[in-house]
Amino acid sequence: MTDLPELDLRTLWHPFTQMGDWMDGRPVVIERGEGNYLIDTEGRRYLDGISSMWVNLHGHDHPRIRAAIHTQLDRLAHSTLLGLANEPSIELAARLVELAPAGLTRVFFSDNGSTAVEIALKMAFQFWQQHEDQASRARTRFVALKGAYHGDTLGAVALGGVESFHEIFRPLVFEALRAENAYCYRCPYGLRYPDCGIHCLESLEGLLERHGHEVAAVVVEPLVQAAAGILLLPDGWLKRARELCTRHGTLLIVDEVATGFGRTGRMFACEHEGVTPDLMTIAKGMSAGFLPLAATLTSEEIFEGFLGPVRDQRQFFHGHSYSGNALACAASLASLEVFEQEAVLEHVREMSEHLARRLETLRRLPAVGEIRQRGLMVGIELVQDRATREPFDAGERIGALVCMAIRKHGVILRPLGETIVLMPPLSVQRGEIEHLVDALAKCIAQVTGE
C-alpha cells in the first residue's frame, strides 16, 4: 500500500506552512468526516475545532447537503455563467438577496473569499471611473484597517494589515490608506471601552476628512477581525463607520467571508448593527464547507453604474471559469434550508452562551491574557505575564505547541500566533464544547508550565 504521509512529504506544498518544519513531522491524513468529527487514516477521531479553517457549518456529513449535491450531480455538475444561466445559481442568488441586509440586490458569483474581495474592489473602482460626476473619477483609493485580512490575492493583500503575511509584498501592490483598528486589549491610546467613546474611530474619520474625495471605498471585516486574532470591534463601531462613509460619499465594502452564515449568532454580522453596506463579500461558510463558493453582493445603484450600450464598454470585465458552479450552489441552497429547518441560529446563540460560561474556567490560568468571543468565534490570547500583558516570544511558538498538544485529546485547532482560535461548526454540541474547553485548559497548563 502507498505510504500516503510519506508521499505527502515528498510532493505537497501546504498553505501558510513552513515546509521544512512540516517535513520533520508526519502528517495526519484525514480520511472521513462524521458530524463535527474528522477521522484520520489510522482511525483516530478529532473534533473539528476550527470548522476546517472556518468553513464547515452543520458537520461534515449532513444528510440534506449530501443529498442536494447527489441530486444536482445527477443533472449537471457545472456549466458556465458566461452567456448562460443555470438553475441552482439563480435560486441561490434570489435566496441570498432575501437574506442579505436590505438594499443588497445583486449577486456576482465566484469561488473563494479572496476573489470575492478582488471583485468588490474592481467593482467599486470601475463604478467611480464611469460615474457621471467627473470629480468622482478621483476616487481611486481604498481604506483598510490595521490588522485587516481579506485574502491572499494581490488586491486583497494590498488591503492586508497583518505584517507577517503582507509586508514582503508591499512593493508589488497598491497603497491602501490605513486606519486604526480596535485592539482593545492593547489599546494604543490607553483607553477603555465604553468610556473611550470609540476614540479609535477618529483615525478613520480623520483619514476620510483628509482623503475622502479620493476614496473609492472603505473595506472592513464587520465586528470581528478574524485573522488578526479574533479582535472584536466594539459595539457601535460598524454603525458609525457606515455613517462616516455616507457622509463622505464613499462606498462601504463589508467582508463577511469569515463572519457570514451564522458564525456570530446572526446570519450576517452586519445585522447586529442594522448596517447595509454598498458591497458585501461572502465565501467560507457559504456552501456549509462542502465546496468552493463565494459571491460579491451589491446595491442596485452600483449595479446600474455598469449599464449602458454595449459599445460604451461599461460592463464589468471579470469572470471565473467556475462562477456559479451548480454543485456548490446546490450545497449552499441546502445549507440555507438547514438553517431554517433546524433553527440553527438559535442553536448557535445557545451554544455561544454555553461556550462563554465554560471559557470562564480558563481565566484561572495565568497565561490566559484575554478571551475574546463573538458567537462561535473565539480567540484566547496567551501572554507571558498577565499583569503587564507581555507577549510570549514568537519564537517559542506557544500557540502552535498548545494546538499540537490538544491533538492527543482528539481535537484539531490552529492558532493565530499566540492566540488560540476556537471556531467549532455551528452544529457543535454541549458535550463537545465541554471536552474542547477542558482539553484546552490542560494543554495550556502543560505547555506554559503551570
Ligand X SMILES: *Cc1c(COP(=O)(O)O)cnc(C)c1O
The residues of the shown chain that bind ligand X, judged by CB under 6 A, are 112-114, 117, 149-151, 221, 226-227, 255, 257-258, 283-284
Residue 150 CB, nearest approach to ligand X (Å): 5
Closest chain position to ligand X (CB): 113
Cα torsion for 117, 55, 226, 439, to the nearest 10°?
A: -170
Other C-beta atoms closer than 10 Å to the C-beta of 301 total: 12
Q: CB of 231: closest distance to ligand X in angstroms?
A: 12
- Name the grid cell of 100: 442579505
- Smallest separation (angstroms) from ligand X to the CB of 395: 26
Instruction: Give the residue with the Cβ less far from ligand X, 48 or 255.
Output: 255
Give the angle 215-134-319 at the CA atoms, nearest 5°: 65
231 vs 338 by CB, closer to ligand X: 231
- Name the minimum Å distance from CB 113 to ligand X: 2
| Beta carbon nearer to ligand X, 145 or 444 | 145
**Please, which residue, 253 or 411, has the CB nearer to ligand X?**
253
Whether 249 contacts 127, CB under 8 Å: no
Yes or no: say if 19 and 8 are a contact pair by the CB < 8 Å rule.
Answer: no
Within 10 angstroms of residue 25's Cβ, the number of other Cβ atoms is 10
Minimum CB separation of residue 260 from ligand X in Å reads 9
**Residue 159, Cβ neighbours under 10 Å: how many?**
25
Nearer to ligand X, 64 or 320 (CB): 320
Residue 413 near residue 49, CB atoms below 8 Å: yes
- Helix then strand then coil, in percent of the chain rounded to 5, is 45, 15, 40
- Report, in Å, the least distance between residue 17 CB and ligand X: 15
For ligand X, which is the closer residue by CB, 226 or 411?
A: 226
**In the numeric block, which cell numbers belong to residue 56?**
464547515
- Distance of alpha carbon 134 from alpha carbon 136, whole angstroms: 5
**Residue (68 or 227) nearer to ligand X, CB:** 227
Alpha-carbon gap, residue 450 to 402, rounded angstroms: 13
Q: What angle do CA 112, 97, 117 make, to 5 degrees?
A: 25
Shortest CB 227 distance to ligand X, Å: 6
DSSP string, 38-80: EEETTS-EEEETTHHHHT-SS-TT-HHHHHHHHHHHHH-S---
Instruction: Determine the Cα–Cα distance for residues 87 and 364; give it in Å rounded to an integer.
Output: 54
Judged by beta carbon, residue 35 or residue 399, the one nearer ligand X is 399
Distance in Å, CB of 287 to ligand X, minimum = 11
In the numeric block, the cell 483628509 is attached to: 210
The Cα–Cα gap between 435 and 441 comes to 10
Minimum CB–partner distance for residue 70 and ligand X (Å): 25
Give the nearer residue to ligand X in terms of CB position, either 198 or 283. Answer: 283
